[in-house]
């Protein structure tokens, strides 16, 4: 099953993708995480991506598309994947469709998670990320048991450079103008599921799981 998770920054894509990955045994491919890992290693890709990420702009399509098609070619993605944060505009969506078609595949379900903007700002400005394993926390909504430390791996939690209010608002604008149109791009396929992301992580996960089970049944898999 090939799954795309759509939604504005802070909608809970990462949180839900992790759970979906556990439940369905599918790899999560998160472009933002790939760039942050490259940056942590100090590679040219990471340094190039950082120039765009720091201002909330999209990394150029040619770079992102190359990274994603390379990653989807890995053996663990052959049986399906969960894309988190890609595609982010029509150019990327078309590149993805072409790539999948070339290997006889397609997107099976698109989950679009909606949350109202002020809640997104609260979620993003309070987000903390584990430097060890990438797990997400929140200073009020998802507090680790020991302050500043990851429950899963004990790693140190940090705040992303682009999770300050000014950059968050730019990222939300970029979502509106570039990414949100993908909802209409995918709608005619009849595989788009809109999910209310304002509930608790458990509630949202229940809704997403129901949608994926329905899609699986529909396709007789
Ligand atoms: P995205 O990947 O879409 O940017 P994340 O999964 O990283 O979103 O979530 C953004 C922030 O909001 C994180 O701090 C996370 O802990 C928190 N969060 C995620 N889902 C919820 C939810 N349903 N309710 C409240 N906070 C949430
Ligand atoms: P969030 O989880 O808050 O939605 P991400 O970690 O997905 O944020 O992305 C962080 C940044 O990485 C983006 O603001 C953008 O600069 C870059 N990025 C991630 N995915 C893409 C993509 N598909 N196309 C272009 N830039 C991307
Ligand atoms: Zn951790």
Number of the ligand closest to the Cα of 152: 3
The answer to whether position 27 is within a domain reads: yes
What number is the average pLDDT over the span 170-183?
A: 98
Catalytic-residue membership of 171: yes
Nearest ligand for residue 11 CA: 1
- Residues surrounding ion ligand 3 at CB below 5 Å: 130, 132-133, 135, 150, 152-153, 155
Closest CA to 170 of 9, 2, 28, 7: 9
Ligand 1 atom with minimal separation from the 7 CA: 3
Q: Residue 197 belongs to a domain with what CATH number?
A: 3.40.50.300
Q: How far is CA 85 from CA 44, 105, 214, 215, in A?
A: 21, 20, 23, 21
Per the prediction, the chain carries an average pLDDT of 96
Q: Which pLDDT score is estimated for 123?
A: 98
| In the block, residue with structure tokens 């894309």 | 83
- In the block, tokens 């500043």 appear at 148
What is the pLDDT averaged over residues 43-68? 97
Query: What percentage of the chain exceeds 90 in pLDDT?
Result: 96
CB-CB contact of 215 with 221 (8 Å): no
pLDDT for 219 equals 76
For 141-176, the pLDDT digits (tens) are 999 999 999 999 999 999 999 999 999 999 999 999
Closest ligand 2 atom number to CA of residue 68 = 23
pLDDT (average), residues 194-198? 98
Active-site residue, from 28, 71, 123, 127: 127
Indicate the number of domains in the chain. 1
Range of the domain at 207: 2-116+179-218
Pairing of strands 127-130, 136-138: antiparallel
Indicate the pTM of the whole model: 0.96
Pocket residue to mutate for ligand 1, from 11, 12, 20, 134, most atoms within 8 A of Cβ: 12
Whether the Cβ atoms of residue 79 and residue 26 lie closer than 8 Å to each other? yes
Q: pLDDT band at residue 221, thresholds of 50, 70 and 90?
A: low
Residue 201 CA: which ligand 1 atom is closest? 23
- Domain membership of residue 157 (yes or no) is no
**Cα Dmax for the chain:** 48
Nearest CA to ligand 1 atom 14: 127
Q: Does residue 170 form part of some domain?
A: no
Ligand 1 centroid distance, CA of 183 (Å): 20
Q: Is residue 196 part of a domain?
A: yes
Determine the residue of 122, 142, 158 to mutate for testing ligand 1's pocket, defined as the one with the most ligand atoms within 8 A of the Cβ atom: 142
Residue 58 forms part of a structural domain: yes
Any domain includes 132? no
Whether 20 contacts 84, CB under 8 Å? no
Q: Residue 151 domain-assigned?
A: no
Give the span between the Cα atoms of 109 and 104, in whole angstroms. Answer: 16
Beta strands in 106-178 (DSSP E): 109-114, 127-130, 136-138, 157-158
Report the C-alpha gap between 181 and 57 in whole angstroms: 17
Compare 216 and 59 and report the one with higher pLDDT: 59
Nearest ligand, CA 128 = 1
Interval 88-130: pLDDT, tens? 999 999 999 999 999 999 999 999 999 999 999 999 999 999 9
Cross-strand bridge partners of residue 81: 2
Any catalytic annotation for residue 160? Answer: yes
Is 130 inside a domain boundary? no
Query: What is the predicted pLDDT for the residue at 215?
Result: 87
Alpha-carbon span 36 to 117, nearest angstrom = 24
Q: Give the pLDDT mean for 198-212.
A: 97
């Amino acid at each position: 099953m090939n799954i795309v998770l759509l939604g504005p920054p802070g909608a809970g894509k990462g949180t839900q993708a992790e759970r979906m990955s556990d439940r369905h045994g599918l790899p999560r491919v998160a472009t933002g995480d790939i760039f942050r890992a490259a940056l942590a290693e100090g590679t040219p890709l990471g340094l190039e991506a950082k120039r765009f990420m720091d201002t909330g702009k999209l990394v150029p399509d040619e770079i992102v598309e190359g990274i994603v098609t390379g990653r989807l070619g890995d053996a663990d993605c052959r049986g399906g994947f969960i894309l988190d944060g890609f595609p982010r505009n029509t150019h990327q969506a078309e590149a993805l469709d072409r790539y999948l078609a070339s290997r006889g595949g397609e997107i099976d379900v698109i989950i679009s998670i909606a949350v109202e903007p002020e809640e997104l700002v609260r979620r993003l400005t309070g987000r903390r990320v584990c430097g060890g394993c990438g797990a997400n926390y929140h200073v009020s909504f998802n507090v680790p048991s020991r302050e500043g430390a990851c429950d899963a791996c004990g790693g140190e939690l940090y705040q992303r450079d682009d999770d300050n209010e000014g950059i968050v608002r730019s990222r939300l604008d970029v979502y509106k103008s570039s990414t949100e149109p993908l909802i209409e791009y995918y709608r005619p396929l009849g595989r788009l599921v809109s999910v209310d992301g304002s509930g608790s992580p458990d509630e949202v996960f229940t809704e997403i799981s129901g949608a994926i089970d329905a899609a699986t049944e529909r396709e007789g898999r």
